[in-house]
Amino acid sequence: MLRETAFGTAKLMPDLDCEGGWLLTLDGTPQSYVDLRDPTHLEFEYTRRLGHLTDALAPTGRPLDALHLGGGALTLPRYLAATRPGSRQRVAEADGPLVDLVAEVLPWTGQGIEVTVGDAREVLRDTPAGSTDLVVADVFRGSLTPAHLTSTEFVALAAAALRPGGCYAANLADSAPLDFARAQAATVRSVFAHCCLVAEPSVLRGRRFGNLLLIGSGEPLPVQPLARRLAADPFPARLVADEELRRLVRGAHPVTDEHARPSPTPPQGAFSIG
């Protein structure tokens, strides 16, 4: 199914190799993969890493209150609803026509998921202080993270929304020399006492463009359980924390609203599909 949305041409396509599987693209860039028969099936590597994080955050099955900035086809909210029944989840998605398309083809009613059409930062600003366990920032305009979602002011809003022990996670994309990712890590570290970065080794070494997950919290993160889950994944990722993270961000400075820029443009074909 093809539809013009607020930010481009969205296409929802059934996966012919997986009954119940659907792929959402926007202008040819993959945005979400949903398996209606098995919402615990996380197709994209970065989504699995977010799933590993949610698995490690609290005892198995305990509900979480989550705010998702960026909706797509609601892959992670559906995963949380399946693995932690009773979770209360709010999703902010700026693309209203995209929300309508997903609701029409891949409805989510009865799962404790509320979708708000609006700018992620504005929704975050209006979120009551100390009201959520998890804030996930996974916002792309096409293939770029908008500049106003990359600053210390934005991350501070996320910190204010979290309960004690709550966690902030941001999905980003970068390549060598990782200047954007390093600045974003410095930004998260300037707000949260505890921080780690997750990425595929080849991305960390600057060999290819790819996703990186930045995680912050006011209290110690479940680094060891998360690292074990990441290492056991079919596409293993590395977790960088403590002194190794300090070395990685050395020389990088936190980003403020005044100097914020979008994430770097991916090389041609980095995420596109035919």
Q: Give domain limits for the chain.
A: 44-259
- Mean pLDDT over 152-163 rounds to 98
In this prediction, residue 56 carries a pLDDT of 97
| Superfamily name with CATH number, domain 44-259 | Vaccinia Virus protein VP39 (3.40.50.150)
Per the structure block, which two tokens stand in for 123? 């929704």
Inform me whether the pLDDT recorded for 180 exceeds 90.
Answer: yes
In this prediction, residue 266 carries a pLDDT of 84
Cα dihedral: 120, 121, 122, 127 (round 10): 90
- Mean pLDDT over 3-29 rounds to 92
With a CB cutoff of 8 Å and minimum separation 6, the contacts of 180 are 172, 174, 261, 263, 264
DSSP letter, residue 149: G
Q: Find out whether 176 and 108 touch, Cβ atoms under 8 Å.
A: no
CA–CA separation, 43 and 37 (whole Å): 13
More confident residue, 34 or 269: 34
CA–CA separation, 24 and 26 (whole Å): 7
